[in-house]
Amino acid sequence: MGAGTIDGNIVLPDAGGAPIALADPDTLSLPSPYELLCPVEPPEVWCAGVTYERSRDARIDESSAKDAYALVYDAERPELFLKDAGMRRTVGPWARIGVRADSSWNVPEPEIGLVLGDGGEIAGYTIGNDVSSRSIEGANPLYLPQAKVYAGACALGPAVLVPDDWDAALAVRLRILDRGEVAFAGETSTARMKRSFRDLVGWLLRDNPVPPGSVLLTGTGLVPPDDFTLEPGMRVEIHVPGIGTLVNEVALASDLL
């Protein structure tokens, strides 16, 4: 059921219309026994890659096929791939995301997700985490589906933003906690993107029947250092002002099956 807000509180229809104080306004977490679910259930989740210079550089460094990433960054046609369908590999806030046991190098990829309406119109923004295996993709770009598509490899939430200014840049902040200590933190802005949101959507819809309600993740500009890898028990926090903070614990993907 839908929810609204009054003075920073969430109003749930099943609570008789009475406002429920947020346990944490930053993350939009609710007091027990309530929990925040995924704000959308997209029939498909798509991803765009190499849309930031930082992402291009990282994938060139990791890959045995370095020219492929340099070329796609400057090309007219973007990299696009299907991340999930039917919510089989996608989780919401506070749920566990997965890392592959057969990968030695796993990273979160904080991204702005475009919620698509009829005809591919951008209906709102959410936060996405395109969890990825850099070791598998780096071994061979043809392994991209195995590096990107597995149990718990995508997270969305905690809310959908309909902005007043669709052209305003969005700040994206990442923090990774290991046993309560900050293992990595960084910040970027969509102003650093090589491509626009509308351009990415236009390419996605070319000869492609993407259903309304789908989400397009727009690439990441935040990449942890090469000596960092996600481990079970870590916590990933992605914050975008106006949307909130997407928080997920890390687990082995095999434990999510």
* pLDDT higher than threshold 90 for residue 136: yes
Q: Give per-residue pLDDT as tens, 40-51.
A: 999 999 999 999
CA separation for the pair 8, 143 (Å, rounded): 45
Which range, of 12-26, 142-156, 217-231, averages the lowest pLDDT?
Answer: 12-26
Query: What torsion do the CA atoms of 203, 209, 210, 212 make, to the nearest 10 degrees?
Result: 130
The residue type found at 9 is: N
* pLDDT higher than threshold 80 for residue 58: no
Q: Give per-residue pLDDT as tens, 113-125.
A: 999 999 999 999 9
Enter the pTM of the model.
0.92
CA separation for the pair 253, 96 (Å, rounded): 9
Q: Give per-residue pLDDT as tens, 202-212.
A: 999 999 999 99
Q: Give percent of the chain with pLDDT exceeding 90.
A: 77
Whether residue 81 contacts residue 145, with contact meaning beta carbons closer than 8 Å, is answered with yes
Q: Read off φ and ψ for residue 232, nearest 5 degrees.
A: -55, 140
Task: Determine how many CB atoms are found less than 10 A away from the CB of residue 239.
Answer: 19
CA separation for the pair 256, 175 (Å, rounded): 23
* pLDDT higher than threshold 80 for residue 254: yes
* pLDDT higher than threshold 50 for residue 172: yes
Q: How confident is the model at residue 6 (pLDDT cuts 50, 70, 90)?
A: very low
Average pLDDT of the segment spanning 68-89: 94
User: Which of 181, 12, 150 has its CA nearest to residue 84?
Assistant: 150
Q: What is the DSSP string of 169-230?
A: --EEEEEEEETTEEEEEEEEEGGGBSS-HHHHHHHHTTT--PPTT-EEE---S----TT---
b/e burial code for range 105-135 (CB count within 10 A of at least 16 → b) = bbbbbbbbbbbbeeebebebbbbbbbbbbbb
CATH topology of domain 38-256: Fumarylacetoacetate hydrolase; domain 2 (3.90.850)
First-to-last alpha carbon distance for the chain, in angstroms, is 27
Using DSSP's 3-state secondary structure scheme, residue 117 falls into coil
Whether residue 110 contacts residue 129, with contact meaning beta carbons closer than 8 Å, is answered with yes
Is the bond preceding residue 78 a cis peptide, omega within 30 degrees?
no
Domain spans in the chain, listed from the N-terminal domain onward: 1-35, 38-256
Q: Read off φ and ψ for residue 256, nearest 5 degrees.
A: -100, -5
Q: How confident is the model at residue 2 (pLDDT cuts 50, 70, 90)?
A: very low
Q: Read off φ and ψ for residue 162, nearest 5 degrees.
A: -105, 100
Is the bond preceding residue 225 a cis peptide, omega within 30 degrees?
no
Average pLDDT of the chain to the nearest whole number: 91
Identify the pLDDT of residue 1: 35
Using DSSP's 3-state secondary structure scheme, residue 168 falls into coil
* pLDDT higher than threshold 80 for residue 169: yes
